[in-house]
Amino acid sequence: MRKTVCLAALAAIGITGAAKGVGVLYDSTGSPRFNAPSDTTPLRYNVNSFGDVTRIQYDDVPLTGGTSANINSVRFDIVQLAGAPAVNVSGFWSPMALDAATAGGAGDGPNDDPNAANSLGAPVPLLANQTPNARVVSVTFANPFNTGPLNTAQDPGGFSFFNVGLSFSNTNGSNGWEIADHPNNLDVLWDYKSNTDLNEFSFGTDANGDPVIGTMAVQVVGTMVPEPATIGLAGIGALLAARRSRRA
């Protein structure tokens, strides 16, 4: 009976800890990238503007503190130039698979790759920008999911990864995913259609000749799922503390 009580207590501690851990796991939305210091409109990129609305642009999400993550929401920041037409934005996520597991074609580089097009939910419609100025609009998908095991091979001993991405329903480049900065993000993006048709790419330089890192504006909210041993140790410590308190 005592063992059953302890296991139940450990489970309760684990659930409580997970609930308290919900928060922003990754956020590059506060660091828009500009072509020149005097610019007021961030850089943007639209993978669908080349004529194929079935392609997905993926970015990596670097995380620490667990073997997987329970994701509550994913937010993308979209730049709409003045006169940009209405468009639907579809969101996706994927595990990051070992490079050897995907034969992505001629454009597949040396990095590990997304290998799926898991929908984040129904497409989000954006109204046309009928104002005389460019604007940034946030699109949020709030359909919870678990990432499954995060990729630890891309950065051994460092960050763990999965991918998020989006696509636009038309080819008009006046709508685009905002380019951003984040110190932990890989300098690589993926133009993905399938496991056998993907391209790894990054950007060139800005007006000053400085490199524009391949990082997009995205915010991920959720909870890290720690290794079972970590949960067990935390639970045992709490139980021991409670036992000492009762004895006192």
HEC string of the chain equals CHHHHHHHHHHHHHHHHHHHCCEEEEECCCCECCCCCCCCCCCEECHHHHCCCCCEEEEEEEECCCCEEEEEEEEEEEEECCCCCCEEEEEEEEEEECHHHCCCCCCCCCCCEECCCEECCCCEEECCCCCCCCEEEEEEECCCEECCCCECCCCCCCCEEEEEEEEECCCCCCEEEEEECCCCCCCCEEEEEECCEEEEECCCECCCCCECCCCECEEEEEEEECCHHHHHHHHHHHHHHHHHHHHC
Residues with Cβ within 8 Å of 46's Cβ and at least 6 positions away in sequence, in order, are: 57, 168, 172, 173, 175, 176, 177
pLDDT value of residue 233:
47
pLDDT value of residue 72:
98
pLDDT value of residue 106:
86
pLDDT value of residue 182:
97
* Separation in Å, CA 40 to CA 37, 199, 236: 8, 30, 53
pTM of this prediction exceeds 0.75: yes
pLDDT value of residue 2:
34
pLDDT value of residue 12:
35
Separation of alpha carbons 129 and 80, rounded Å? 7
pLDDT value of residue 130:
97
List of the chain residues with pLDDT < 70: 1-20, 229-248
pLDDT value of residue 139:
98
- Give the total residue count for the chain: 248
Q: How crowded is residue 34: how many other Cβ atoms within 10 Å of its Cβ?
A: 15
